[in-house]
Amino acid sequence: MDKALQDDFPIDWEQDGFVSRREFFKFMTLASGGLAIGSVGLAAWSSALRGERRFEPIRIARLDEVPTGTALGFGYPRPSDLCILVHHKDGTLSAFSRRCTHLSCPVDYQAQTERLFCPCHNGAFSSKDGSVLQGPPPAPLPRVLIENRDGELWAVGVVH
């Protein structure tokens, strides 16, 4: 090879793709920064998901259309988001998402035991507060906030 050319380009062809330890360390530190940013992003996302979220209120039914000891299905905040309103025997009302927190099967109200039962894997939730009573569900059911406006029941928000 020409001597002048070799002086101008001292790196051999075989060494062209060589990565020094320092360069590799820099790359790995960059990856570490990326993972740290990703983790912070996940934390921000999780805090956005938690807590109370208000949506456009929708009318569910009149109170007298839901006798005590029964339940009524509705969609909130979108019609495809299945929810269930329970009118307890003591006269109180509560509403939850119908999607089981295990694998999203719809839960059904069981009046005798006053619980919301998922037939897919025998999961059960309290119909009072949505907490897990049995089975594989890892988290309580999201609660739907309801308001009684002159005898009409309205859904106004969701609490995760």
Which residues in this chain contact other proteins in the complex, by CB under 8 A? 21-22, 24-26, 28-29, 31-33, 35-36, 38-40, 42-43, 45-47, 49-50, 101, 138-139
Of 89 and 160, which CB lies nearer to other proteins in the complex structure?
Answer: 160
Minimum Å gap between C-beta 103 and other proteins is: 11
Of 60 and 97, which CB lies nearer to other proteins in the complex structure?
Answer: 97
Distance CA 24, CA 8 (A): 26
Report the b/e string of 61-90 with b at 16+ CB within 10 A: eebeebeeeebbebebbeeebbbbbbbbee
Minimum Å gap between C-beta 104 and other proteins is: 11
Of 3 and 21, which CB lies nearer to other proteins in the complex structure?
Answer: 21
Of 9 and 24, which CB lies nearer to other proteins in the complex structure?
Answer: 24
Minimum Å gap between C-beta 32 and other proteins is: 4
Distance CA 46, CA 158 (A): 15
**Exposure of 23 by Cβ count < 10 A (0-12 exposed, 13-18 middle, 19+ buried)?**
exposed
